[in-house]
Chain A
Amino acid sequence: MADIVLDHISKRFPDGSLAVDDFNLAIRDGEFVILVGPSGCGKSTTLNMIAGLEDISSGELRIGGAVANNKSPKDRDIAMVFQSYALYPHMTVRENMGFALKLAKTPKDVINTKVEDAARILDLTQYLDRKPANLSGGQRQRVAMGRAIVRDPSVFLMDEPLSNLDAKLRVQMRTEVSRIQRRLGATTVYVTHDQTEAMTLGDRVAVMRSGLLQQVGSPKQLYDLPDNLFVAGFIGSPAMNFLSGTMEEGKLRTSLGDLPITDQLRQEMERAKAGRDVIVGVRPENFEDAALVSADSRGHGITFRTSIDVVESMGSDVFVYFTQGRDTGVNSAELEELAADAGRADTGASGDTIVARLDAATQVHEGSDAELWVDARAVHVFDPATGRNLSVGAVSGTARGPVT
C-alpha cells in the first residue's frame, strides 16, 4: 500500500494542447479518490500518467515516497482496470487473471492459489475455465477486477470501469467496487464522468475541467460548499438552478423576488469587488410548496407565485419545472460554458427554467399557478466573470449569520 503525490503535474501533447495543467493532489495510503469531470477534462490523461502509460511533461509523481516519473508501469506496482475491460480474448478467465504473475515468473502453485482466492472474492469460481466471449458484461468486469486484485498491488487505478454496464448492473457493481476496496484497503484512484458514482464511492472527489483541478474535497464538502460555478452545477442531481441577479439597495434582486442577504455575504462581495450583476444558485431541494412550510421556517426565505410547466412525481418526491423570467440580459460566458459542458440543450426560453423538489404531499399540478417558497439561507452567489462562489467566503459551513 502506498500514498500518491501529484506535484505540479502537467501534460502537453505533441500538437501543443495542454491536457492537464498544474495538477496538485496528495492521496493518502488506503484512500479512495475519484477524478470526475466532463469529457475531455483530462481525468483519464491524469490516470494514465499515474499508471505510466503517458509521459509526464512536467512535475513530479511520487508513489510511496519514491519519484516515479520515469519508472515503467510494471515497476510502479500498480494495477489498472480499463473501461473496456481489455480482457485477452484468446485466454480463459484463469489465464487472464494469472497472466501478470506468469510474466513475473511466479511459481505455478502460487499463481493457482492467488487466482482461486481472487475468484472466490469475486464469485467467479465457476467461470474460471471460460473464455471472455462466453461471459456477460458484469462477469467480464469482475474478471477485469480480478486481474488487478491477483497482483496485490500498492495502488488500484480504475478508468470508468462501470460505464459499459447497464444502469441496474452499474448500481450493483458500484457496491461491489466499494466493498472490495474496503476489504483490500488499497489506495484507489477512480475516474468517472458520472457524478453519482463520484458522490457515492469516494472518500474524496477531485473535480476537473479542461485540464484544471476545480476543487478537491469530500462529497459533502463539494455539495454544500462548491468553490465555483462549475463545481456547483456539476455536483448534485438534479443540478443546481442558476438565476441571474442584481445587487440593489442591499438586496439581491432575482426573478423570484428580492432575496435578503447576510452581512457576511455583503462584505465578501465588496471584498471581491463584484459588480452589481451576479449569478444566484439554488438547489432544487431548497424550494418548497409554500403551503407546506412551517411558520417559523417561513421567515428564512421568500415566497413567490409561478405557473408550473411540468410535474414529475417520483413517489418519494415531486419535481416541478417552471420558468420565472424577465430577460435581465445578464450574459455570463461561464454560464454558457457550463451549460455546454453539462450538455444542457438550449431551449431558447428567455427566462430561467427552474427545477424544484417538493415534498410528496404537495398539491401543485401542471398548468396551474402555485405559491412556492425558497430558502434564502441556502442560496449561493457567484461572480459572473470568474465563476467564483462568493458566498463560500461568507459561509463557514456551520450556522449562517442572521438574515437582515
Chain B
Amino acid sequence: MAVITPRQRTGWATANLVVLALALIPVLWLVSLSFKTPAAVLDPSLWPAQWTWGNYSGILQTSQFLRPLVNSIGIGIISTLIAVTLASMAAYAVARLEFPGKRVLVGLALLIAMFPLIALVTPMFTIERQLGLFNTWFGLIIPYVAFGLPLGIYTLSAFFREIPWELEKAAKMDGATPFQAFIRVIAPLAAPGMVTTAILVFLACWSDFLLAISFTSSISSRTAPAAMEYFSGGSVFTVPTGPIAAAAVVITIPIIIFVLFFQRRIVAGLTSGAVKG
C-alpha cells in the first residue's frame, strides 16, 4: 500500500467534502424548507428562523397525501412480490438449463431494461385506457413488474450460478422432485440474492414518477411522488413549497432506512456474482 502524504490526505479530504456538499446541500435545503413557514420560503438561510410542524401535520392529515402513501406501499409490495417470484424462476432456468433461444431471451430482457421509458409512455397510456387498466393499481403494477424483471433476472441468475450443481443432484438422489429441490435447497441458499432483488425492485417502484403521473388520474391509484404534483397552495398563484418539501422528506425516509439497514447486503448482492461471473 502506497504511503499517503499529509498533502495528499488534505487533498482527498477536500475532494470528499466537496462531493458530500454537492450531494447533501439540496437534501438539507429540502429538510429546512419543510420546517419553514410559508412566509419564510424565500429566506436564503439554511436554518429556519421559525420552526413549524405545520407542513407535516398538513400533509399527514389530508387524504390527498395519505391515500397515495397507502397506494405506494401497496403497489410497491405487490410489484416486488410478483417480480421476485417470476424473476427467480426465470433466473433459475437461465442459470441451469440450456435451451434454444436462451441467449436471445436474455438479450431481450436487457434490451427492455435499457429502453428509454419515456418513449413507451404514450403507447402504454393508450393500451391501458383500452384495457381499462388506467387509474387502477394493476395499471401500475404490471409495468413495474415488467421493467423490474430484467434487473431481477440478471441479479438472481448470477446468484443461482454460484450454487453448485451437485446440490441439486444430491437432492434428486435423496428423492426430491425438481420443485422440492428448488424450494428446500436452492431458494434458501439464494435468499441473499432474493432480498437484494426485492429491495432494488421496491425502491424503483417507490420512487418512480413518470409512470405514476401518466397512468393515474385520481388518488385512488396515484402514488406518493405523483401526488406531490397535485398539492394546492393558499391561492391559485401560490406554490405550496412547504408541503411539497415535507412530502418529499416523508417519501425519502423509507428509502434512507432501507439503504442504511441493507447497504452491505445490497453491495454484496450486486458484486458477489461478479467475481465468479
Give A contacts to B, CB under 8 Å. Answer: 51-53, 73-74, 78-80, 82, 84, 86-90, 99-100, 103-104, 147, 151
**A88-B185, A89-B189, A90-B188 are known contacts. Are A73 and B167 too (CB-CB below 8 A)?**
no
With A52-B172, A53-B169, A74-B174 known, 8 other A-B pairs at CB within 8 A are: A51-B173, A73-B173, A74-B176, A79-B173, A84-B164, A86-B169, A88-B170, A89-B189
B116 at the interface (CB under 8 A from A): no
When distances are taken between beta carbons in the complex, the residues of chain B under 8 Å from A100 are 173-175
Q: Is the CB of A88 within 8 A of B172?
A: no
* A73 CB contact (under 8 Å) in B166, B172, B184: B172
Q: B82 → chain A, closest Cβ, in Å?
A: 25
How long is the Cα–Cα vector from A306 to B184 in the complex, in angstroms? 67
Decide if B175 touches A82 in the complex (CB within 8 Å).
Answer: no
Q: Which of A51, A86, A88, A104 contacts B175 (CB 8 A)?
A: A104
> Does B122 sit at the interface, judged by CB under 8 A?
no
- B contact residues around A87 at 8 Å (CB): 170
A82 with B174: in contact, given A88-B185, A90-B188, A103-B180 (CB under 8 Å)? no
Cα(A99)–Cα(B185), bound, Å: 10
Kindly state the separation between the CA atoms of A132 and B175 in the bound complex, as whole angstroms.
21
Q: Is the CB of B180 within 8 A of A82?
A: no
Give the CA-CA distance A82 to B172 in the complex, in Å. 12
Q: Are A147 and B174 in contact (CB under 8 A)?
A: yes
Q: Which residues on the A side are within 8 Å of B167 (C-beta)?
A: 86, 88
Q: Which residues of A contact B180 (CB under 8 A)?
A: 103
Instruction: Check A86/B189 contact, CB under 8 A, given A100-B175, A104-B175.
Output: no
Query: 15 pairs across A/B with beta carbons < 8 Å?
Result: A51-B173, A53-B173, A74-B173, A74-B174, A74-B176, A79-B173, A82-B166, A90-B189, A99-B174, A99-B184, A100-B173, A103-B175, A103-B176, A104-B175, A147-B170
A89 partner residues in chain B, CB cutoff 8 A:
189
Q: Find chain B residues with CB under 8 A from A52 CB.
A: 172
Q: Chain A contacts of B188 at CB under 8 A?
A: 90
Chain A contacts for B171, CB-based, 8 A = 88, 99
Contact B173 A78 (CB under 8 A): yes
Q: How far is the CA of A23 from the CA of B171 in the complex (A)?
A: 28
A98 to B172, CA, bound (A): 14
| Chain B residue contacts of A80, Cβ below 8 A | 169-170, 173
